[in-house]
Amino acid sequence: MTATDSPIVEPKAMQIERTLDEHGVTRQDPWFWLNQRDDPNVVSYIEEENAWAKKVMKPTKALRKELFKEMKARVKEDEQSTPILKHGYYYYSRYEKGNEYPLYCRRQGSMKGKEEILLDINEIAADKTYFDVGTMSVSDSSKIMAWSEDTVGRRRYTIKFKNLETGQILEEEIANTTGNIIWAADNATVFYTTKDEQTLRADKVVRRALGDPTDHLVFEEKDETFSVGVSRSRSGQFIEISSDSTLSNETRLLEAASPHEEPRVFLPRRKDHLYSVEDHPNGFYVLSNHKSPNFKLMFTESLEKKESDWSEVIPHRPDVFLSDLDIFVDYIVVQERQAGFINLKVIPLDTSIAPYFLEFNESVFDISTWVNREQDTSMIRIQYESMTTPHTIYDFDLKTKKKKLVKREFAGKDYDSDNYQSKRLYARASDGTAIPITIVYAKNKVTSSAPLPTLLYGYGSYGYTIDPSFSSRRLSLLNRGVIFAFAHIRGSQILGRQWYEDGKLLKKRNTFTDFIAAGEFLVNAGYSTKDMLFAEGGSAGGLLMGAVLNMAPQLFRGVLAHVPFVDVVTTMLDDTIPLTTFEYDEWGNPNEKNYFDYMLSYSPYDNVEEQDYPALLVTTGYHDSQVQYWEPTKWVAKLREKRTNSNPLIFKTDMEAGHSGTTGRYKDLKDTAYNYAFVLGILYGDIS
């Protein structure tokens, strides 16, 4: 029997002694060697894990095909996006039947004009295993287009250019960028951000004139806890340079018509101060959390005015979180969160007209303004969805309060929202705090007494809030009698800024215990049972999964952890690993003993112990720049060594992808089918 004919057995990674000492604490890490990306032994081990995953998942092959077929039927194969008007052209993307990638197009004057194909991604990506478009940006003259592309998955983009008059792709390219491209008003100058070669932190804003390979440094952020970005203001008058950390930021402005001028600091950075700037014909509106945790809205007529002389437009309110806004010439549209629910509020600048909220029939939904390029308008676009209403775009008249349906996402020929139910529930955390949960299920699968399989999803970091969104893919679970739930745990901002503050740094464990409380509630309230409850999370949500696995493994039948950030202490101690220093405000700096001790108390990798673990599916991308592949690889190796039962442990590495997984709409559907087949395969007994 040859080596290639050898039976596939559960992998076991070799152990090489490695001792780590920090703050007087000694840790043994015999799988530390797995962080050598190009070591043949590392690649061989990952290939063994992939082979094992293939073997364990083989009984679900027919189910995966069935799921993929269902989900594909809910995709409009000739889908076209809602057009966006800019400088007389309507820009949109569209798919052709059978194609993985979109075509980016435009029409002049109206959508009845002749179509001009700007880029056919299917042609560009034909010979590539991975392809992602970062940004597309057309000059004000509408004659030159810049776009950025990543062909590896490390989120390091190369900028390219196309002459839209001749159709010629220019030879000029700019490598190692974040992918963001901004045109100045002269139609010849672009601004972009570069990445540090080692840490991948966005560290510089650079200016270049098209046709001249000379780069001019506009701004360099030397504080390693900050990263930079560049954008164009809504009016188009300004180039905005942002320097951001988790808890504070700084904005610089320069006239888009004078790209060679030095940018001017709008408001100097200070500790724990976050603000954003929106320009207006009469001045600047500033969303600020200065002495206002839930943010307030201020106004200043000019850059010359001192902050103390700014006027207050919307005061701080302890029970309302001001999360976003759009500024128009005659209106302000703000996104507010109150009691865990989101709304859009319209504030006319004519004070004789009363402010009002946009109204919808559902109680639990997600709403925001959409792409609105024009500032001097009363007709805006908004987007709306819920867990039963597909993503919908409306034209909304700010004067008449009337809305017109522009587009609703296709969810299948037979989709009827009346067949599904969504509701908000509340669990009680160990400290008595009420934790919101949003669930959705198929009405015909629910009875008053029978619990159902349930998939509970969570994140809870960086203030990122998971709102009740729609997924046509999710219907394949709901139609099989599975409840889907979002746990709105601390670490998000669903209940305001304090909700975030209570789920980070030395309060991070609240995130994990909140999720456990949500799972226990669903079981105790009769929605599910421990034998039918599954958990899912990715990235920082993968850390959540790892921590919960160690703390309450008996609560779940199975867990899905995608690109999980699980080796917290070792990663955060290594400032050469991409993005580490940018994370200190979220997790703490483990070079300080109090943070080291606290991280060590919950770090999933460090707290794996000899106990029974539920079935586990772990996925990662070999080229991941956010969470390096070796974190889940080491974690799985340790779990295989320590666990005391034989529940399925599946580890799947995409050797051609990064943090966001594969590219291509059908490839992505297959990944979702794989994840769902894991859940259903456990329930059906196909995976054991």
Q: What are the catalytic residues?
A: 539, 624, 659
CA nearest neighbour of 607 among 580, 638, 651, 628: 638
Tokens in use for 584? 């200190």
* Pairwise CA distance, residues 58 & 388, whole Å: 33
Region of 539 on the Ramachandran plot (φ > 0 left; ψ -120 to 50 alpha; else beta):
left
Question: What CA–CA distance (Å, rounded) separates 357 from 360?
Answer: 10
Residue 214 CB burial class (10 angstroms; 0-12, 13-18, ≥19)? exposed
Where are the strands (E) in 275-413, listed by range? 275-280, 283-288, 296-300, 311-314, 321-327, 331-338, 341-348, 356-357, 366-369, 379-385, 392-397, 403-408
Which residues, other chains included, contact 240 with Cβ-Cβ below 8 Å and sequence gap of 6+? 230, 231, 232, 233, 251, 252, 253, 277
Cβ atoms of residues 574 and 580 within 8 Å: yes
For residue 608, count other CB atoms closer than 10 A to its CB: 23
Instruction: Report the first-to-last Cα separation within the chain, whole angstroms.
Output: 27
Q: Which tokens in the block code for residue 206?
A: 């650079």
**C-alpha distances out from residue 558 to 457, 551, 552, Å:** 12, 14, 12
The two structure tokens encoding residue 192: 């972009």
Whether 227 contacts 266, CB under 8 Å: no
List beta partners, residue 420.
442
CB-CB contact of 80 with 94 (8 Å): yes
- How many whole angstroms separate alpha carbon 331 and alpha carbon 350? 8
Length of the chain: 688
Q: How many CA atoms lie within 13 A of 103 on its CB side?
A: 18
Strands 283-288 and 649-654: unpaired
> What's the Cα-to-Cα distance from 210 to each of 203, 213, 246, 351, rounded to whole Å?
22, 8, 34, 46
Give the 3-state secondary structure of residue 297. Answer: strand
3-state secondary structure 619-687: EEECCCCCCCCHHHHHHHHHHHHHCCCCCCEEEEEECCCECCECCCHHHHHHHHHHHHHHHHHHHHCCC
Distance in angstroms (rounded) separating the CA atoms of residues 355 and 380: 16
Q: What is the C-alpha separation between 542 and 522, in angstroms, rounded?
A: 21
Q: Which amino acid is at 122?
A: N
For the record, the structure tokens of 380 come out as: 């805006």
Q: How would you class 97 by CB atoms within 10 Å of its CB: exposed for 0-12, middle for 13-18, buried for 19 or more?
A: exposed
| CA–CA dist 565, 203 (Å, integer) | 23
**Three-state secondary-structure class, residue 127:** coil
Spatial neighbors of 69 by CB under 8 A, at least 6 apart, are: none
